[in-house]
Amino acid sequence: MPPEKLRKTAPGLVSLYKAASVALDKEGLAGQRAAVYLVLDRSGSMRGYYKDGTVQHLAEQALGLSANLDDDGTVPVVFFSTDIDGTADIALDDYKGRIEALHADLGHMGRTNYHRAIETVVEHYKKSGSTAPAFVIFQTDGAPTSKAAAEKALCEAAELPLFWQFIGFGETDAKGFDFLRKLDNLSVPERRKADNAGFFHAGPEPRKLTNRKLYEQLLAEFPKWLEEAREKGILG
């Protein structure tokens, strides 16, 4: 999206757009096109991150990235806990307070099942009819209830041009992040067709990360996956 259009539509996101642009340029991704998805954990332990605006801030950062990669100005959002709590879009012309409002209407916060969120994104992508790459920001604060189901869903999704960037919120020693590191390092081609996932830990206070640092971490493994996906015919 041209910067001048963004200034008219969402002036509050211009600084995020610029920070994302710098990170994309650094990775050699200037001009790259991709849809951006946002997957958000609504397990009970996430309550404080919704209350203090941290999740809303991540959604705005996702929009800043999307404005560089995609022209439609929207990011599909999947809220998950035990099952899928809800789905919605956030848009450049309607993002302020949007996550808090959606979250408040979704009711009970349950456990953590990654596989349901992965399956929902895959279904949405297939229905879109797109063959272009998609970049999925997958936020969570711990391990899933069913680790086997999460691994299976991620490995099956490797057949599609979907890259899953996991981002962990919470304490450094949280055991759940060991599982996310395992997902990041699942073997290729024994377990999955391509290395379709990355992970980084944003710490207990993710908003303390600068926008530039967050985007650099988000995009660190994306270029390598794009290259591998093209080599293996996942991307045309």
Domain holding 141, by residue range, is 3-231
134 occurs within a structural domain: yes
Total count of domains within the chain: 1
Radius of gyration of the chain (CA): 16
61 occurs within a structural domain: yes
Which of the pair, 208 or 1, is modelled with greater confidence?
Answer: 208
pLDDT of 83: 97
* Closest by CA position to 49, among listed 166, 206, 174: 206
pLDDT of 45: 94
Span 169-192, average pLDDT: 89
236 occurs within a structural domain: no
pLDDT digits (tens, 9 = 90+) for 103-137: 999 999 999 999 999 999 999 999 999 999 999 99
pLDDT of 1: 78
In the predicted structure, residue 173 carries a pLDDT above the cut 80: no
Concatenate the DSSP letters of all residues of 148-200 into one string: HHHHHHHHHHTTSSEEEEEEEES-TT-THHHHHHHHHT--TTTT-SS--EEEE
Span 205-211, average pLDDT: 96
67 occurs within a structural domain: yes
Which CATH number belongs to the domain containing residue 92 in this structure? Answer: 3.40.50.410
11 occurs within a structural domain: yes
Torsion of CA 178, 179, 183, 187, to 10 degrees: 80
The DSSP symbol for 217 reads: H
